[in-house]
Each structure stands twice: as C-alpha cells, then as structure tokens.
Amino acid sequence: MLRSFSPLPRARLRLPSVRNFSISPSRQELSPQHAIYVSNSVNPYFNLSLEDWLFRHKNHQEPLLLLYRNDPCVVIGRNQNPWKEVNMTALKARSIPFIRRRSGGGTVYHDLGNTNYSIHLSRLTFDRHATAELVRRAISTLGVDVRVNDRNDICVGNEKVSGSAYKIVNQRAYHHGTMLISTKLDTLGALLRTDTETMVTKGVDSVRSPVCNLRQFSSTIDHETFVDAVVSEFRREYRVDEPIRYVNDGEGAEETDYIRNGMAELPSWDWAFGQTPEFTYSIRPRFEWGEVTIEIRSKHGIILETRATSGHSGAGLEELGRRLEGHKYGFVEEAIVKDVVDRDSRCRDVWEALAGAMETYNYQP
C-alpha cells in the first residue's frame, strides 16, 4: 500500500422525505451525545476511527446508530492474517488499501456501492440477532425479502448481502455490518480470492459465502433509501426522536485527538501487520535443478524461522533461512541476503520464490 489517497470527495446525498441531508456551512463541534450519526466522509481511516470514538465515549446506556460509506478498501478482522485473507497482487494493481479494524470477524470489501451500519448498545441489552432483525425489517420496507441466517448474516435466498462483526468492551457493545447495494462484486472477488491454502494461522479465517447486491432485486434501492429505512427502524425500535447528526469532511472532527490518533494508527505497520497472529506457510517451488520445501514461521509480522530443504540442501540454504529471522515478513530487502544469493544460484532461485510468496502491498494514505 505505497500510494497515498487522492483527495477524498464529499459524498452528496439526495433529499428523501423523512430526512434532512442538507449541510450547514457553519462548523459544528463533534459530540458523542447524539443518537444517530451519518458520516458524509468516504475516508475509511476517518470513519473507522469515528466509529471507535463514538463507541468509547457515548453513554453506555444509550443506543447509537452510525451509517457511512468508504472509498474502495479491504477491511480485515482484528485477529486475522492479511496475507491469508487478501490478494496482495490484486490490491497493488488497483492501489486499494487493506485496513485492520478493531472488531473481530472476517474480511469484507468496501466501496461506494456498500453502506456500513453500526448499532451500539448497553452490554446488558445487546442481542446480535435482534440488531440483525432490525436491519432485516428496514430492508423489507424497501421491497426485498431478506432473512437472517444462523450467523446473523442477512441473506436473499442463499446469497449474503450483509456480513456482521461485533465488539464488546466493559459495559458497551456494538454490531456492525456491511450492506451490499451496488458493490463491484468482480472487484470484491478478485481482492478476496487468495492461493494460500498451505498457510496455517492461529488467527480467525473468513467464512467464504456467495454474495449478491440488493440492487439485483430492486432498482430503487440506493445508499440514501437504505440509510432512510435503517434510521426509521432504529427510531421505532429504541424510541429515539431527535435529528440526525451529519459528520462532514472539513468540520474538524479529524482534529479530535482520539480520532486523529486512530487515523494514524490504522495504516501503521505495528497495527496493520504487527498484530498478525502466529502462522506458518509452506511452499514447494520446483526448479530445473529440483524441488524445495520451504516453511516460514512468523508471529506479529516478524519472521521467527525459515527452513528450506531439498536433495541439494547445503550451507547456503541454511544461511539464507537464518538471514531472514527477525525481519518483517514481506518487507525483507534483498540486501539482507545478497551475498548468499550471489554465491549460489540455487539460493537465488529459492530467495526469489520466497520473495514472491511473501508479497505485500503497504498502502500509505
């Protein structure tokens, strides 16, 4: 993820009957005391940090709803392995970041055809099935027959339109999820399709499911109508009668210390890669001179051990493995092993296979 974001556009929302999406030119101080928030920002680093700030600062006894969209990005769960979950080659080709969120669950793709909802409640009253049902009822008012499965995903038939994740801390909990409205499903598939079956992780693997867009079943559904429906259902369920608090780029919310620090943390190596649970990855590349079995073991993004064995094993391959130990997985410069691979062409072949297997895309906003 080496390139920076282009300037992020403001999302412009149409004006349905029960909402007021007009944006006041005056700057409003952001407060966690409202019940309903709609972010007009499409910066994923901001929106994920805003969500966490609201979660940490809202009165734990009061319900809260946040809705937002993001520019294209892949979002992995708190305890997942990005090299297992994300096609780094496809990410790089499209200049799309991956972001490790602060909740558990699996990997999802965000773009402007996907709307994210986040429902925060007291831990004592939190019921993930009930919150999923709230969203299901909202979609039903838009004319699409959906159901909640045993994982609390929202589906049309056997295809998923919404996946969920959860977070519980002290007296507060939230259920957040994606809603595929008109997402580019071909891009989603390309970014989340990996060839790492031999990577064994102690983290959480995503549960792969067929997906579809709501737009396939109703041409009138879009971000605005979905937001309207969820807000209305949230108000009915929790007896909330107050206006929506819109959060806009340039209002200064990103200057809030907690949010600013969160936006800096999410793309950092320590968070994005350094939180990766321990894993091992075995590959068996073949060369003209023979086949090699390579096993890499890593924890928190650091290579702990690399073993390369073949019928031609020797001091060169052993030294190559030792040189990688203690370095960041996917970030090893060739200079670290240059003298070893320059002396032995077989070591060079193995190094190139290793470098390809550890391919990483480090997007920086």
User: Residue 266 is part of a domain; what is its CATH number?
Assistant: 3.30.930.10
Please state the rounded mean pLDDT for residues 59-71: 97
96-100, 210-214, 361-365: least confident range: 361-365
As a dihedral over the C-alpha atoms of residue 222, residue 223, residue 229, residue 230, rounded to 10 degrees, the angle is: 140
pLDDT band for position 29 (50/70/90)?
Answer: confident
- With cut-offs at 50, 70 and 90, classify the pLDDT of residue 128: very high
pLDDT of 26 higher than 50:
no
Answer with the one of 231, 256, 272 that is the final residue of a domain.
272
Residue that terminates a domain, selected from 222, 252, 272: 272
Asked if residues 111 and 183 have their Cβ atoms less than 8 Å apart, the reply is yes
Average pLDDT over residues 20-27: 42
Q: Is position 298 within any domain?
A: yes
- Domain holding 313: CATH number? 3.30.390.50
Q: Are residues 236 and 320 in the same domain?
A: no
196, part of any domain: yes
Question: Does residue 341 share a domain with residue 200?
Answer: no
132 and 85 in one domain? yes
Residue 326 lies in a domain: yes
What rounded mean pLDDT belongs to the chain?
Answer: 91
| pLDDT tens digits for range 277-325 | 999 999 999 999 999 999 999 999 999 999 998 876 678 999 999 999 9
Res. 141 pLDDT band, cuts 50 70 90: very high
pLDDT value for 314: 72
Task: Tell me, yes or no, whether 342 lies in a domain.
Answer: yes
3-state secondary structure of 87: coil
Domain count, the chain: 2
Q: pLDDT, tens digit, for every residue of 186-235? A: 999 999 999 999 999 999 999 989 999 999 999 999 999 999 999 999 99
Mark whether 142 and 262 lie in a shared domain. yes
Residue 249: which pLDDT band, with cuts at 50, 70 and 90? confident
Cα–Cα separations (whole angstroms), residue 252 to 27, 44, 127, 247: 8, 16, 34, 10
**Same domain (yes/no): 257, 296:** no
pLDDT tier, 27 (very low <50, low <70, confident <90, very high otherwise) = low
Give the end of a domain, one of 272, 292, 312: 272
221 with 79, same domain: the answer is yes
Residue 228 contacts residue 19 (beta carbons within 8 Å): yes
- Structural domain including 184 reads 36-272
Residues 80 and 124 in one domain: yes
Residue 12 lies in a domain: no
- Cα atoms in the 13 Å half-sphere on the side-chain side of 266: 28
Predicted confidence (pLDDT) at residue 333 exceeds the cutoff of 70: yes
Are 54 and 72 part of one and the same domain?
Answer: yes
Residues 251 and 284 in one domain: no
The reply to whether 264 and 314 lie within a common domain is: no
161 part of a folded domain: yes
- Residue 145: φ, ψ to 5°: -85, 105
The pTM score is: 0.90
Residues linked to residue 166 through DSSP beta bridges, in sequence order: 175
Strands lying side by side in the sheet with 302-309:
199-201, 279-283, 293-299, 302-309
Verify that 230 and 117 share a domain, yes or no.
Answer: yes
Q: Which two tokens stand for residue 32?
A: 């966690």
Q: 184 with 327, same domain?
A: no
Residue 27 forms part of a structural domain: no
pLDDT in tens, 1-23: 333 333 334 333 333 333 443 33
**303 in a structural domain:** yes
